[in-house]
Amino acid sequence: MSDVTDTSTPERPAQLPAQSPPVDPAETAAAEQRAGGRLSWWRGEGGEGARRNLWLIGVLVALIVIGVITRPDLYGDSSWVWSNILVILKLASVVGVVTVGMTFVIIGGGIDLSVGAIVALAGVWATTVATQSYGAGGMIFCALAVGLCVGLVNGVLISYGRLVPFIATLAMLVAARGLAAELSDKQTQVSDNATINGIASTNLFGIPLLVYILAAVVLAGWVLLNRTTFGRRTVAVGGNPEAARLAGIDVKRHTVLLYALSGLCCGIAAIMLTAQATSAQAAMANLYELDAIAAAIIGGTLLSGGRGTIIGSLLGVIIFSTITNLFAINGLTTEAQNMVKGGIIVAAVLVQQVQFRSLTQFLGRNRLTTN
Partner 1 sequence: MTEHSRDLSRRRLLFGGAAVGAGVLLAGCTSNESDQPTTAQTKGADAAAGGNAAPGERVTIGFSAPAADHGWLAAITTNAKAQAAAYSDVEFKTVEAGADAAAQRAALSTLISQKPDVIVLLPADGKELNAAGLEAMKAGIPVVNLDRAFPDALAYRLQIKGDNYGMGVAAANYIVAQLKAKGVSAPIIGEIAGTDSLELTQERSKGFADTLAQNGLKVNNRRPAEFTADSGQQAATSLFQALPKIDAIWNHDDDQGIGVLAAVTQANRKEFFMVGGAGSKKAIEDIQADNTVLKATVTYSPSMASSAISLARLIAQGKGMSDLVELQVPKELILASETITKENASSYLKLGF
N-to-C CA span, the chain: 53
Of 284, 287, 262, nearest to 275 by C-alpha is 284
Please answer whether residues 268 and 1 qualify as being in contact, where contact means their C-beta atoms are separated by less than 8 angstroms.
yes
By CB under 8 A, is residue 9 in contact with partner 1?
A: no
User: In the stretch 216-255, what mask flags binding to partner 1 with x, by CB under 8 A?
Assistant: ----------------------------------------
By CB under 8 A, is residue 290 in contact with partner 1?
A: no
Indicate if the alpha-carbon torsion angle 111, 117, 119, 125 is positive or negative. negative
By CB under 8 A, is residue 281 in contact with partner 1?
A: yes
Q: Which stretch binds partner 1 (CB under 8 A): 10-18, 162-170, 220-228, 297-305?
A: 10-18
Which residues between 201 and 220 bind partner 1 (CB under 8 A)? 201
For partner 1, the binding residue among 226, 229, 278, 355 (CB under 8 A) is 278
User: Helix (H, G, I), strand (E, B), or coil: what is residue 370?
Assistant: helix
Which residues between 123 and 142 bind partner 1 (CB under 8 A)? 125-126, 128-131, 134, 138, 141-142
Residue type, 143: A
What are the CA-CA distances from residue 175 to residues 190, 293, 332, 362 (Å)?
23, 20, 36, 48
By CB under 8 A, is residue 64 in contact with partner 1?
A: no
Give the Cα separation of 251 and 158 in Å (integer): 11
Of 213, 189, 210, nearest to 132 by C-alpha is 189
Q: DSSP E strands: which ranges in the chain?
A: 189-190, 203-204, 207-208, 279-280
By CB under 8 A, is residue 84 in contact with partner 1?
A: yes
In the complex with partner 1, which residue's Cβ is closer, 33 or 286?
Answer: 286
Nearest 5°: phi and psi at 207? Answer: -120, 135
User: In the stretch 321-350, what mask flags binding to partner 1 with x, by CB under 8 A?
Assistant: ---xx--xxxx-xxx---------------
Nearest 5°: phi and psi at 208? Answer: -60, 145
Of 160, 190, 179, 186, nearest to 114 by C-alpha is 179
By CB under 8 A, is residue 85 in contact with partner 1?
A: no
User: In the stretch 155-194, what mask flags binding to partner 1 with x, by CB under 8 A?
Assistant: --------------------------x-xxxxxxxx----
Where does this chain bind partner 1 (CB under 8 A)? 14, 17-18, 74, 77, 80, 83-84, 87, 90-91, 125-126, 128-131, 134, 138, 141-142, 145-146, 149, 181, 183-190, 197, 200-201, 273, 276-286, 324-325, 328-331, 333-335
